[in-house]
Amino acid sequence: MTQSKLSVAEGELLWTPSPSYVAASNVNAHLEWLRKNRGKNFTDYHELWRWSVESPDEFWAALWDYFAVFSDAPYERVVDRARMPGAKWFEGSRVNYAEHLLRHEVGARDRTVFYHATETRALERISWRELGRQVRIVATQLRSLGVLPGDRVVSYMPNVPETAIAMMAATAIGAIWSSAAPEFGVKTVVERFSQIEPKVLFAADGYRFGGKEFDRRAHVGEIVESLPTLAKVVWLPYINPKEGPAVEGATSWAELLSHPDISRDEFRFERVAFDHPLWVLFSSGTTGLPKAIVHSHVGVLMEHLKLVHFHANLKSHSVMFFYSTTGWVMWNILLAALLEGSAVVLYDGSPVYPEADFLWKLASDTGATNFGVSPTFVQIMEKAGLSPGKRFNLSALEAVLISGAPSTPETFAWFYRHVKEDLWVTSQSGGTEIAGGFVGASPTLPVHAGEIQTRMLGMDVHAWDDEGQELIDELGELVVTSPFPSMPLRFWNDVDDRRYHESYFAAFPGVWRHGDFIRITSAGGCYIYGRSDSTLNRHGVRIGTAEIYRVVEQLPEIADSLIVCCELPGGKFFMPLFIKLRTGFALDNALIARISTVLREDCSPRHVPDRVLAVETIPYTLTGKKMEVPVRKVLMGWPLEKAASRDAMVDSRALDWFIRFAGEAPLR
């Protein structure tokens, strides 16, 4: 069923999978496997989900066998306790995530695994055979450099095959991986990497975006000087291939690959214990340095096997394309498609250059079966009046994944009108914290406008009110009431897990509170309505307010500041920065330009606010916290009595300016 009207209501039916599509789905195959191998008879996805959260030991044990996980030793138990945080998963097992990413190499040696392109480089291909060869060479050279299991290997590279190869090589030998996108400024990178004291840095000389080249050689030099633990830099001459390394003593990527091949039989993957870190992902908080989130090999492996198999429905013939940078968790999830033997499309550049529909051309040229973008991208398509389905051959396309921000009914409907009628359009929501999703898609369920189809398998997700009571068909906090394997092991250098606990378990002890507003319908569908905490969601990438404060408040004109991000109709956002000026200064165009420049250079373009406004005072609670959430609620039209308590404020009148502003100047 399709939608062709100019308007569409939330929850309106847009598509129903055909019986043949359901029968061929990975979900259906697993239901049949459970009947045959476990004696479990579930009639549909909803019954399967309920079993997955009510009997997690059985569910995750079944997945371990179903996916034939490689382990040096059998696990002693699936999970040691049904409490959060601190649950231990698959104790006794010894696995390696990279080994599973490359497990399909043997049977698919000459098939394409990576399609890759840039704004200036035509589409190229890498085979499974070549990928495996390069990963083993780089991994072996890292070992020769003295990199041991547990050492940190980091990158400051664009979304190119070399970055993916470096990640797989590092994790193959038990090193801990972390990545920063090259559009990040020096300060943002150093604040991340200095926490984990890396031994090796992979760095590129720059990146391209919107027809421009951005030279990062000076940035890399400053980063290296700020990381005294570095023993080696591996240099990728990306925008200037003929130039040598800009860092003294660096080894070029070509030099690293010039060593002899290592066969698959000769190479040894470092299978590590259940609690050995795989990577450190960074998610910015509202105070302090970005959170350094540590995940395990086995936890991410089990989550990603489940995610790409059941919720993306990937198969060996699939081609997955999701537009992402290397600083976003979606880059990690994109590479997880290799677990299914699927091919992946890597692209470095602007999504709308040289033309607004360039990504659709790339999807057509690669035969993409699964296409992932953010709602912001759809808005660009709408404004440009584009209909990709009429211009490009998208016959291979089966599914669209919308992620990074809440999706409106109109976003869903656009794909059916302008791409193709028979299409599984999905919206999914999760986070860097779990390297996966909480709520998402099933190929066995219908698509309704604006709705996330279901709660993901193994994720005991609910909507709660402030008193911890479950809500159905009402807006509440997204909580998870049972442990799951891809929970963080810990935060790096987090004494007594204090920050970890404060981030997710302070509101409801023993229950994960994610910080999203969610509504779960009586039929099991889900709607995400944005952040319930003060984290900024900027074009699908989460930004901590603390990152912006540290930069802005160093300017001599600014005494204090506060920033929020408000979700607007149509999937849009408004991110204003409010500043309190020091005596003798005024807010003018020159100061606004300086603020924008310093945020762009020290952080990234995503950190630049939509507007800068001067206020009389910044509101604080009696405990000294900036009142970001109440200000955001006031700007979005909440009545004051539901947004904040004046009795809990240092200055009970500090919100008055924001109340007037909300009434006089509609958000835009």
pLDDT tops 80 at residue 624: no
Q: Are residues 291 and 422 in the same domain?
A: yes
Residue 529 within any structural domain of the chain? no
Q: Which residues of 276-298 are buried (b: 16+ CB within 10 A; e: fewer)?
A: bbbbbbbbbbbeebbbbbbbbbb
**CA distances in angstroms from 204 to 180, 219, 246, 364, 543, listed in the order given:** 11, 10, 10, 29, 24
Residue 509 within any structural domain of the chain? no
Average pLDDT over residues 32-36: 98
Position 623 confidence tier, pLDDT thresholds 50, 70, 90 = low
Q: Are residues 263 and 290 in the same domain?
A: no
Residues in the chain: 668
Average pLDDT over residues 94-119: 95
Higher pLDDT, 45 or 3: 45
Question: Which helix or strand (DSSP H or E) is residue 50 part of?
Answer: helix 45-54
Residue 107 within any structural domain of the chain? no
Per-chain mean pLDDT for the chain: 92
Amino acid at 386: L
pLDDT at 2: 39
Instruction: Copy the structure tokens of residue 559.
Output: 């005494």
Model-level pTM? 0.88
Higher pLDDT, 653 or 101: 101
Q: Which of these three, 249, 275, 301, is where a domain ends? A: 275
Average pLDDT over residues 330-343: 97
Burial (0-12, 13-18, 19+ Cβ within 10 Å), 117? buried
For 532-594, where are the E strands, in sequence order?
Answer: 536-538, 541-543, 558-563, 566-568, 572-574, 576-581
Range of the domain at 627: 544-664
Residue 634 within any structural domain of the chain? yes
pLDDT at 668: 57
> How many whole angstroms separate alpha carbon 298 and alpha carbon 93?
8
Q: Are residues 426 and 348 in the same domain?
A: yes
pLDDT tops 90 at residue 636: no
pLDDT tops 80 at residue 591: yes
> How many whole angstroms separate alpha carbon 614 and alpha carbon 577?
9
pLDDT tops 50 at residue 3: no
Residue 527 within any structural domain of the chain? no
Q: Are residues 657 and 580 in the same domain?
A: yes
Q: Are residues 286 and 426 in the same domain?
A: yes
Q: Select from 134, 127, 200, 130 the least CA-distant residue to 169.
A: 134
Q: Are residues 221 and 330 in the same domain?
A: no
> How many whole angstroms separate alpha carbon 21 and alpha carbon 44?
14
Task: Give pLDDT tens digits for 186-227.
Answer: 988 999 999 999 999 999 999 999 999 999 999 999 999 999
Q: Are residues 282 and 271 in the same domain?
A: no
Compute, in degrees rounded to 10, the torsion defined by CA atoms 213, 217, 222, 227.
110
> How many whole angstroms separate alpha carbon 295 and alpha carbon 152?
13
Task: Give pLDDT tens digits for 157-183.
Answer: 999 999 999 999 999 999 999 999 999
Q: Are 397 and 419 in contact (CB under 8 A)?
A: yes
Beta bridge partners of 440: 454
Give the domain CATH number at 70: 3.40.50.12780
CA 156 to chain CA centroid, Å, is 17
Residue 19 within any structural domain of the chain? yes
Q: Which of these three, 275, 291, 318, is where a domain ends? A: 275
Helix axes 656-664, 628-635, angle to 10 degrees: 30
pLDDT at 245: 84
Q: Answer left, alpha or beta for residue 248, where phi above 0 means left and psi between -120 and 50 means alpha.
A: beta
pLDDT at 1: 35
pLDDT at 10: 87
> How many whole angstroms separate alpha carbon 59 and alpha carbon 49?
9
Of 245-249, 316-320, 430-434, which has the strongest mean pLDDT? 316-320
Residue 476 within any structural domain of the chain? no
Position 622 confidence tier, pLDDT thresholds 50, 70, 90 = low
Q: Are 362 and 215 in contact (CB under 8 A)?
A: no
Give the CA angle between residues 182, 183, 188 to the nearest 5°.
Answer: 90
Q: Are residues 76 and 175 in the same domain?
A: no
Instruction: Copy the structure tokens of residue 110.
Output: 């000459």
Provide the number of structural domains found in the chain.
3
**Portion of the chain with pLDDT greater than 70, in percent:** 96
Task: Give pLDDT tens digits for 532-557.
Answer: 777 777 766 667 787 788 789 889 99
Pairing type for strands 343-348 and 319-322 reads parallel
Position 251 confidence tier, pLDDT thresholds 50, 70, 90 = very high
Q: Which residues of 566-584 are buried (b: 16+ CB within 10 A; e: fewer)?
A: bbeeebebbbbbbbebeee
Residue 136 within any structural domain of the chain? yes
Amino acid at 78: V
Three-class DSSP labels, 283-311 = ECCCCCCCEEEEEEHHHHHHHHHHHHHHH
Give the domain CATH number at 251: 3.40.50.980
Q: Are residues 199 and 239 in the same domain?
A: yes
pLDDT at 400: 97
Q: Are residues 290 and 432 in the same domain?
A: yes
Task: Give pLDDT tens digits for 413-469.
Answer: 999 999 999 999 999 999 899 999 999 999 999 999 999 999 999 999 999 998 999
Burial (0-12, 13-18, 19+ Cβ within 10 Å), 116? buried
Average pLDDT over residues 394-411: 88
Q: Are residues 381 and 251 in the same domain?
A: no
Q: Are residues 268 and 294 in the same domain?
A: no
For residue 619, give the 3-state DSSP assignment. Answer: coil
> How many whole angstroms separate alpha carbon 634 and alpha carbon 380?
29
Of 138-152, 284-298, 592-606, which has the strongest mean pLDDT? 138-152
Q: Are 137 and 255 in contact (CB under 8 A)?
A: no
Q: Select from 280, 282, 575, 287 the least CA-distant residue to 405.
A: 575
Q: Which of these three, 253, 275, 297, is where a domain ends? A: 275
Give the domain CATH number at 647: 3.30.300.30
C-beta atoms surrounding 227 within 10 Å: 19
Asked whether the bond before 569 is cis by omega within 30 degrees of 0, the reply is: no
